[in-house]
Amino acid sequence: MSVLAAVDTSVRLGTGESVVLWVLGPIALAGALGMVFSRNAVHSALWLVNTMLAFGVFYVVQDAPFLGAVQIIVYTGAIMILFLFVLMLVGRDSSDSVVETLRGQRVAATVLGVGFAGLVGAGIARATQDLDLVGLDAAQGDQGNIPAIAESLFTDYLLAFEVTSALLITAAVGAMVLAHIEREAGSRRTQKELSRARFLTDRPQTLPGPGVFARANSVAAPALLPDGTLAESSFATGTEPQEVEEMARPTGREQLGSPDAALGTLDPAPLDGDGPR
């Protein structure tokens, strides 16, 4: 009985570590849940960064300072930034669809997840409740964590380490091949060729933007031709073109009078009211 009690006390973690676990465990959980449940993919990435930082602290607390540093540098520093880069390249709100393609899939996945967590968590908790806590002091001696890992890595695990280098090179080459756009030399059209091709069409000028000459800059306000009609080529797709309220403009010769009147008189100040409008 006393032996069991002694084992039980030796398994207990220290107070500081318990505090770390109680504080950072919920934070890691919240990060994971936030990653799954946030609609915006960028928010998901930031939640995951949160979880990974908590994991780095867990490693440091658990006598693995090297892994903790690697976790923070490689995971949160490199991998998550790579994720964010790709998110920005792909477009952060691209097709984050809410529709369920398989009916009842979410409910089934949630039930499955809760069941799995219950089974695995309870199983682990039961199987490891009297797990010994030997600690790494004997394994790494007085040389510390990093020299002990290096010694093991470059003796026992040397082959795996070398194979890792091949893996990394293959991954780098693969990423370059996959992300590369094949383009023959000289296949990109120059500005001169583009302009020449545009002048061969019946519309050499650029398309009018919406709202040109109109008194609103809404996309729904189409451009006006010089005679006041709507320019069909400027209709925005997806919206109903709306005629904006327009101040009556003199457009024809009869409204403007003679060209001289349209240009204004040469008199400095027309005293009577029959000057140009």
Partner 1 sequence: MTLTWYLVLAAILFTIGAVGVLVRRNAIVVFMCIELMLNSVNLTLVTFARATGTLDGQIMAFFVMVVAAAEVVVGLAIIMSIYRTRRSASIDDANLLKY
Site for partner 1 in 158-187 (CB under 8 A): 160, 164, 167-168, 170-172, 174-176, 178-179, 181
Q: Residue 27, interface with partner 1 (CB under 8 A)?
A: no
| Three-state DSSP state, 241 | coil
- Measured on CA atoms in the order 28, 93, 71, 77, is the torsion positive or negative? negative
What residues from 40 to 79 belong to the interface with partner 1 (CB under 8 A)? 41, 44-45, 48, 51-52, 55, 58-59, 62-64, 66-67, 70-71, 74-75, 78-79
| Residues 215-254 as x/- pattern, contact with partner 1 by CB under 8 A | ----------------------------------------
Query: b/e string for 234-265 if b means 16 or more Cβ within 10 A?
Result: bbeeeeebeebeeeeeeeeeeeeeeeeeeeee
Answer for which of 32, 72, 230, 244 binds partner 1 (CB under 8 A) is 32
Q: How many helices (H) and strands (E) does the chain have?
A: 12, 0
Is there a contact between 196 and 180 (Cβ–Cβ < 8 Å)? no
Compare residues 72 and 212 and give the one whose CB is closer to partner 1: 72
263 binds partner 1 (CB under 8 A): no
Q: Which is nearer to partner 1, 87 or 225 (CB)?
A: 87
Sites for partner 1 among residues 87-146 (CB under 8 A): 87, 89-91, 94-97, 101, 105-106, 109-110, 112-114, 116-117, 120-121, 124-125, 128-129, 131-136, 138-140
Record the tokens describing residue 53, joined without a space: 């930082």
> What is the CB-side half-sphere exposure of residue 105 using CA atoms within 13 A?
6
